[in-house]
Structure 1
Amino acid sequence: MNHPLRARLPRRTGLALAIALASLPALAAAQDQATTLDAVQVTAQRKVENIQDVPVSITSIDAEKLHVLGSGGNDIRFLSARVPSLNIESSYGRAFPRFYIRGLGNTDFDLNASQPVSLVYDDVVQENPLLKGFPLFDIAQVEVLRGPQGTLFGRNTPAGVVKFDSVRPSREFDGYAQLAYGSDALVNFEGAVGGPLGARWSARASALYQRRDDWVTNTWPGPNDGFEGYDESAARVQLLYEGDAFEVLFNLHRRDLNGTARLFRANIIEPGSNRFVPGFDKERVSIDGVNFSELETWGGSARLRWDFGDLSLHSITGYETLESLNRGDIDGGYGAAFLPPELTGPGFIPFAAESADGIPDHRQVTQEFRLESDYGGRFDWQAGLFWYREELTIDSFNYDSLAPGNPRAGHAVQEQENTAWAVFASAEYAATERLKLRGGVRYTKDEKEFSASVLEAAPFGAPVGGPYTVDTDVDDVSWDASAVYEVNDAVNLYGRVAKGFRAPSVQGRLLFAAPGAPNGGVSTAGSETVVSYEVGIKADLFDRRARLGFNLFRYEVDDQQLIAVGGGANIATLLNADRTLGQGVELDLTAWLAEGLLLTWGSSYNDTRIDDPGLAVAVCGGGCTVTDPTTSIDGATYALIDGNPLPQAPEWIHNLTLRWGIPLAAGELYFFTDWAYRSEVNFFLYESPEFRGRSSLEGGLRVGYGWGGGAYDLAAFGRNITDQTRIVGGIDFNNLTGFINEPRTWGVEFRWNF
């Protein structure tokens, strides 16, 4: 019998292909225009190549588009749904983004959570989730690599890689300064300056500052009067030395964030649906808990390259560290059900819940050596060694919201040391003038030493105890093989098969674990592996006035790591699913529709299914309607999730931008609009209409005038211009609590390029 994924895929594939083909007449009409697309250079295979020659499903976002998307001062989540198959969400606000590619991600909110999407910033992997939110400023390019990248990038890349590259120092004096002001007293400043420091040295300094006032009022006389404001700054300094056969690039960077943690809102979901309750007002809450988010990160790297003619040696050394504390009112309201009605609400609040998580101590060190050939013939290769070491301590606190001053009422600590090393090799061979073959292999060894203790018991939680320990020691071989066939100078066909690997995960959210829970409530998920198949076409159309990328993919994950979040017990438990299946299509299109009118368009369809008939997870603590089959385990209700889609995995993602430039005597008047759509998503592993996010469509608009040969730009902008409001996540242990997306923002911006 055919699996339901297989039955649906041909129809979905045909629809996406039909949409692409329907665009061709409009593109053909532009053939008489002179404007052509520049070649896009990427480093998806750790070397500079034309994106059309790379046998990977990849989207590149240039600096101008990043500038427009980030003009409202939003954090890295503004990339969500801006490329095919990419979703980003957070239950921590700006501090802790969670990435999903092709439906594969991790909803775990633990500060020790691993993600199957790796983020690489200036060639250094950012492993801890709090490192992944470093702001985007003075960026040359973003690359989103879909599918396993386990050969050249490492162990925790079974879903893909999001890669950021900063603007490098150069021999020319240049830079920019931009300042925006908008609604809710938004201030968004960016600037950079760089140039030569002598015959061999160059430098570049970049900075960002963002702030916004609170736009949500607290109507309860709690510790906070308002929420959703932030004050964030970041800086980067780079120093480049260029010798005759030697180059070194030093990088120092820092981030400071002081703002609001994720704002949870009690009982905002209408029972039996995924809509807001009548009378919902997004600008008002009633909360009696303390809320704040504080994060400080800094790091550095040294990237060295020695040129030996037809060989080059690369050394990449990275160091990252952070300190954080996030505290929030988890029940999303005030009081508790056992208090008089006038002292509890809004809606039903069974009991008060206020907690905080922080990292007081963290260190990550990475080292890579890579040897790369450049023979100029039919065969080239890369090979290298990688070493990774992370040490961190996590504090978890509980607080009594009902006592004066919200005193602490519980403390647990987690400590982990993670050491990993790998050896890898990759090769490329031109079998014929038109056919190129690639392949690679990587051996990884990963060890973790984990310990957790309850130092101060929380009410109704686990007693003082510990340390509870877990040690893991695994190894794995990941690989990839691909082929690119050049049909003609404009069209390439490719195929790829790849295996990825994610190391085991351990976490110990112990404060509310049941007394007597195995190992104090510490849970472990074993290694997961994925094998992915992909075929596609990359083409330059109409004499390079349009560029198309289209692919079909299918993957199978064995022992996928999942997190059963929350539920009536208010705990999070790691587990492995026997198998997960996914398949779909992805489309990228860039085209000059007419002189001065540029279109970018991306679409993806992702169908994911958990395949594990016996897998059961705890359901919500109250208020929701579970639509999965249920079973009773030790007197508690569990949902059987076999056949469910993965959480936060939209089937459809579409994105579109249009830029229309009108030349004037002294400059250019331009209009830029961008739109991003994602279909419905489940928030949790079980299915419930209350915890299924509605489809979302957000748009932006920018109208500007540039003059002075591109030196000056003045623009008015809007983000989320329709003021769409959506529930984008939930808390399911207590009541129908949720959190929402960012509001509409308007502003003006001036930019000076020099």
Structure 2
Amino acid sequence: MKAMKRSTLATLINATLFSAVAGTSFSALAEEEQAKKNQLEVIQITARKRVENAQEVPVSVSALQGDNLNAYSSAGMDIRFMNAKIPSLSVESSFGRTFPRFYVRGLGNTDFDLNASQPVSLVVDEVVQENPILKGFPVFDIARIEVLRGPQGTLFGRNTPAGLVKFDTVRPSQEFDGYAAVSYGSRGAVDFEGAVGGSVTERVSTRISTLWQEQEDYIDVKAPGFEKEDSLGGYSEQAVRVQFLYEGDDFNGLLNYHYRDLDGRPIAFRANLIEAGTNNINPLYDNDVVYHDAASRSTQQVETQGLSLKLEWDLPEHTVTSITAWESAEIYSRADVDGGYGADFLGFQGPGIIPFASETADVIPEHNQYTQELRLSSNFSGDYNYQVGIFLFEEDLMIESYSFDTFAFDAGLGQYGAQNGYAYQDQDTSAWAVFGSFDYTVSDDLKVTAGLRYSDDEKEFYAKRTKNPTPWNGSPDVLDGTANPSDSHVSWDLSATYKLTDDVNLFGRVANGFRAPSVQGRILFGDEVTVAKSETTNSIEAGIKSDVLDGQGRVNATVFYYQMDDQQLTAVGGGSNFNRLVNADKTTGYGFELDTEWVLTDELNATFNLSYNKTELEDKNLAVAVCAQCTVTDPTYMVEGANGPEARAILDGNSLPHAPEWIANATLRYTKELEDGEFFVYGDMSYRSEVDFFLYKSVEFEGEALFETGLRAGYMWSEGDNEYEVSAFVRNLFDEQVVIGGVDFNNNTGMLNEARFIGAEFKVKFF
């Protein structure tokens, strides 16, 4: 490759000159160069808002970059590619390519409401992405992804008691460079992404990054009377990011604008996908088959955009940083949620029993988020340094919820599926914080860090229903509700790093995290606005970060324990189909994470990562509504509900939903110089163990373990000033088919993982 050739040429020149002057042998330098080539690169991260060696940071953090990131995220993959690719991290969604839900060390939120709060925060280019729709922005032209496990309540603040996922995009530079990649794959999928950047003037540089992805509908509808081939599963997505960087003598400014437009279909729900009394997949189904009667009206449109301005002043002993940002999201998503056709009362239904039809739409017509961070960082040459700052957050959000009668004709629109229910939510959130982090070098081997943050959070919430879609339950058409929760909290952390040897660091950390009160007011199918009070987490972790085998291996390991008080949980669905927020008295978790990376030979590199997470709810009085048709294995008792007697499952002792105990992943990359280029084969595997889809345990809604394998092979070569790559790839090599989520209020509805995907890609890098 070109970079390799330049490095070799530089070695030859330096070796010749140095040998002539000092008599040093060329062979010694060549051996030194080869040794460096076989060493792992130093991973630089910004987990503490400054550039540091990942091996010296007292935080359990994993970074995804380089070949691993390119292989996982390329060729049309959305952000869910991260599922089980990093220890203790899982990702799922009931919306498809948008609204991802992140879980770290078992902590997350299964709520599908567009106002859902999550304990894992997503930060992109130092700007928090609070609303769940913002979190689904496509992954392209990314320099690095970092996952910070455990509470991150000091530097990153509210709503990070479980951890943080952090994206850093490729920044502009004065050097001209860029790339373009196009791929074609299964189901008519086409993917293009590219970027170009360089200097505009001696002080101004720019970078423009773009993405275009498209896939044809490939899922056939086989419901009697509604048969249609290639009806669902397709999408068309475009995104762009434009950046301008000004670099002065003592001042830098970075302007970032990004935009996304998605027009596609929602994830395909499948009625009675899970066979009763088991968690087996109904043999009627395959990945390309559904039995909908409302597929023709299923649609999902998403539009997000944002603008941020980062300003930095370099003072003699300090750096002042200001980050001002605006983010906005809009979505319209309509789906056949019951996943089948007909209904029991019609005498025409399937597959299996369909008690009633459910066709709904969730909409964000208006959303704006404004954030401002201002921080002062010292650059002292002595033993003491610090960061202090303030943070402001404002969000205005409106949500609309629609229900449709699948069997009623809408004369105005000339189609079935007339609207029969409507409700909306309006929420304003204001939050502010002051924070400080202080580093002290006790000795050459021991460094300690302490941090404090004061957070203040307030919400004003109003919800109103103007049409009740289920009048038989006795509830009025017109209903409203309000909530105005607020709270403040001091979060903190204390950590230390001890250099045992030049290649081995030990670290320990205790930390406290906080999630502000949450509101659930999706009153389309319920009569109550519920509020979950603040949750707090206390966590302790200790670990080792080591470089071994003269830099050819890296082994990092962490053990942890946490206790969460008043954990915010969402009782999703149940036979009454009403989401309710609750607090659990106490939740505990413990486990370990192992990250390893190896240079096995000159031509073979490998990684192996493993995590174990054990979670447990401890609340003898906490009980939730259960599914309509599944087999519940928790202890239950009966209560009188809106539609008659309803069962409640006691949750004490249960693990958290979507919290796999085991996550493992491994990669292997083989390269071989061939002719004037390099042949490569890249393989990866990921595994996550069984998960429960809901707070209660049932036979049907326990998801089986998911094992997925990917393979990529190709050839790279240089020509002129460009580098080229052609490759073929396959995702989910063995076509594993697993239920990854469920809908429990009607029948044993579920969603399947992505089927095997085969494709080819051509990529060019230019300099």
TM range, smaller chain: over 0.9
Is residue 33–residue 594 contact of structure 1 (8 Å, CA) maintained in 2? Answer: no
Is residue 72–residue 746 contact of structure 1 (8 Å, CA) maintained in 2? Answer: no
1:34 Cα deviation (Å)? 5.4
Q: Which runs of structure 2 are paired with 1:305-704 in the superposition (5 Å)? A: 305-340=312-347, 343-404=348-409, 405-460=416-471, 462-513=475-526, 520-622=527-629, 624-634=630-640, 635-704=645-714
The one-letter code of the counterpart of 2:478 is G
Aligned counterparts of 1:731 and 1:464: Cα–Cα separation in 2: 25
Aligned counterparts of 1:431 and 1:465: Cα–Cα separation in 2: 65
1:95 Cα deviation (Å)? 1.3
Is residue 72–residue 718 contact of structure 1 (8 Å, CA) maintained in 2? Answer: no
Is residue 82–residue 91 contact of structure 2 (8 Å, CA) maintained in 1? Answer: yes
The one-letter code of the counterpart of 2:596 is L
The one-letter code of the counterpart of 1:208 is L
Measured against aligned partners, the alpha-carbon deviations of 1:110-166 in whole angstroms (never above 9, x if no partner) come to: 000010000000100000000001011000000000000000001100000000000
Q: Which runs of structure 2 are paired with 1:118-157 in the superposition (5 Å)? A: 118-157=121-160
Measured against aligned partners, the alpha-carbon deviations of 1:654-694 in whole angstroms (never above 9, x if no partner) come to: 00011000011200000000100000000000000100000
1:531 Cα deviation (Å)? 0.4
In the other structure, the counterpart of 1:37 is 40
In the other structure, the counterpart of 2:165 is 162
1:223 Cα deviation (Å)? 9.9
Matched, 1:744 2:752: no
Aligned counterparts of 1:320 and 1:178: Cα–Cα separation in 2: 28
Aligned counterparts of 2:680 and 2:111: Cα–Cα separation in 1: 42
Aligned counterparts of 1:127 and 1:223: Cα–Cα separation in 2: 40
Aligned counterparts of 1:281 and 1:653: Cα–Cα separation in 2: 26
Matched, 1:173 2:176: yes
Aligned counterparts of 1:83 and 1:115: Cα–Cα separation in 2: 19
Instruction: Please tell me the root mean square deviation across aligned C-alpha atoms, in Å.
Output: 1.3
Question: Identity of paired residues, percent?
Answer: 52
Aligned counterparts of 2:56 and 2:313: Cα–Cα separation in 1: 26
Is residue 251–residue 313 contact of structure 2 (8 Å, CA) maintained in 1? Answer: yes
Aligned counterparts of 1:108 and 1:327: Cα–Cα separation in 2: 17
Q: Structure 1: which 4+ aligned runs deviate by more than 6 Å?
A: none
1:457 Cα deviation (Å)? 1.9
Say which SS state the counterpart of residue 81 (structure 2) adopts: helix
Measured against aligned partners, the alpha-carbon deviations of 1:725-745 in whole angstroms (never above 9, x if no partner) come to: 110000111111101111111
Is residue 322–residue 361 contact of structure 1 (8 Å, CA) maintained in 2? Answer: yes
Say which SS state the counterpart of residue 80 (structure 2) adopts: helix
Aligned counterparts of 1:328 and 1:521: Cα–Cα separation in 2: 24
1:508 Cα deviation (Å)? 1.1
Is residue 268–residue 290 contact of structure 2 (8 Å, CA) maintained in 1? Answer: no
Aligned counterparts of 1:500 and 1:105: Cα–Cα separation in 2: 14
1:205 Cα deviation (Å)? 0.1
Say which SS state the counterpart of residue 652 (structure 2) adopts: coil
More deviation in 678-687 or 274-283?
Answer: 274-283
Q: Which runs of structure 2 are paired with 1:101-120 in the superposition (5 Å)? A: 101-120=104-123
Say which SS state the counterpart of residue 93 (structure 1) adopts: coil
1:512 Cα deviation (Å)? 1.5
In the other structure, the counterpart of 1:19 is none
1:219 Cα deviation (Å)? 1.8
Matched, 1:233 2:238: yes
1:298 Cα deviation (Å)? 0.5
In the other structure, the counterpart of 1:58 is 61
Aligned counterparts of 1:349 and 1:321: Cα–Cα separation in 2: 38
Instruction: Indicate the structure (1 or 2) with the bigger Cα radius of gyration.
Output: 2
Say which SS state the counterpart of residue 132 (structure 2) adopts: coil
Matched, 1:262 2:267: yes
In the other structure, the counterpart of 2:729 is 717
Aligned counterparts of 1:376 and 1:222: Cα–Cα separation in 2: 73
Report the count of equivalent residues: 715
In the other structure, the counterpart of 1:729 is 741
Structure 1: state its 5+ residue gaps: 1-30, 514-519
In the other structure, the counterpart of 1:6 is none
Aligned counterparts of 1:750 and 1:325: Cα–Cα separation in 2: 34
Say which SS state the counterpart of residue 66 (structure 1) adopts: helix
Say which SS state the counterpart of residue 78 (structure 1) adopts: helix
Is residue 454–residue 510 contact of structure 1 (8 Å, CA) maintained in 2? Answer: yes
More deviation in 686-695 or 451-460?
Answer: 451-460
Aligned counterparts of 1:586 and 1:422: Cα–Cα separation in 2: 31
Say which SS state the counterpart of residue 647 (structure 1) adopts: coil
Aligned counterparts of 2:552 and 2:317: Cα–Cα separation in 1: 35
More deviation in 379-388 or 256-265?
Answer: 256-265
2:206 equivalent among 195, 203, 207: 203
Matched, 1:705 2:705: no
Aligned counterparts of 2:365 and 2:321: Cα–Cα separation in 1: 33
In the other structure, the counterpart of 1:23 is none
The one-letter code of the counterpart of 2:712 is R
Say which SS state the counterpart of residue 406 (structure 1) adopts: strand
Aligned counterparts of 2:210 and 2:357: Cα–Cα separation in 1: 41
1:33 Cα deviation (Å)? 9.2
The one-letter code of the counterpart of 1:694 is E
Aligned counterparts of 1:32 and 1:55: Cα–Cα separation in 2: 29
1:465 Cα deviation (Å)? 2.6
Structure 2: state its 5+ residue gaps: 1-33, 410-415
1:218 equivalent among 218, 221, 226: 221
Say which SS state the counterpart of residue 306 (structure 2) adopts: strand
Measured against aligned partners, the alpha-carbon deviations of 1:14-33 in whole angstroms (never above 9, x if no partner) come to: xxxxxxxxxxxxxxxxx989
